[in-house]
């Protein structure tokens, strides 16, 4: 069964992307110019693309027959990646020194 792996990987990647944005780039590295909403949106979109790729990658690695539902599952996984990234952003943004008000 591939679906638990896809969900857990998406959750982990979303958390990692939020931690990289808020704690690595905007706190530890102190990149003061990388705290705009457009930078956050870049990370959000990259996270969604990674979530889409994770779905296809896991389906191919588990030798699931190629079918259009794989792309629908990957699209839904990308949407869930957007949700998880947003949720983790709301929860973890306060720890950032430069981007604590990003995206709002």
Tens-level pLDDT at each residue, the chain (104 residues): 457 788 899 999 999 999 998 888 877 766 667 778 888 999 999 999 999 999 888 887 777 777 778 888 899 999 999 999 999 999 988 877 777 667 77
Domains of the chain by residue range: 3-95
Taking CA atoms, 58 is separated from 34, 40, 70, 86, in Å, by: 32, 27, 10, 24
**Length of the chain, please?**
104
Q: What is the pLDDT of residue 94?
A: 84
Contact 26, 35 (CB under 8 A): yes
Q: What is the pLDDT of residue 13?
A: 96
Distance CA 59, CA 71 (A): 10
Q: What is the pLDDT of residue 30?
A: 62
């Amino acid at each position: 069964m591939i679906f638990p792996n896809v969900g857990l990987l998406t959750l982990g990647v979303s958390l990692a992307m939020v931690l990289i944005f808020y704690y690595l780039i905007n706190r530890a590295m102190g990149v003061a110019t990388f705290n705009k909403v457009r930078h956050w949106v870049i990370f959000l979109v990259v996270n969604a693309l990674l979530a889409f790729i994770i779905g296809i990658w896991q389906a191919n690695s588990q030798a699931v027959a190629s079918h259009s539902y794989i792309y629908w599952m990957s699209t839904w996984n990308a949407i869930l990646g957007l949700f998880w990234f947003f949720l983790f952003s709301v929860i973890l943004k306060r720890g950032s020194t430069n981007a604590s008000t990003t995206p709002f």
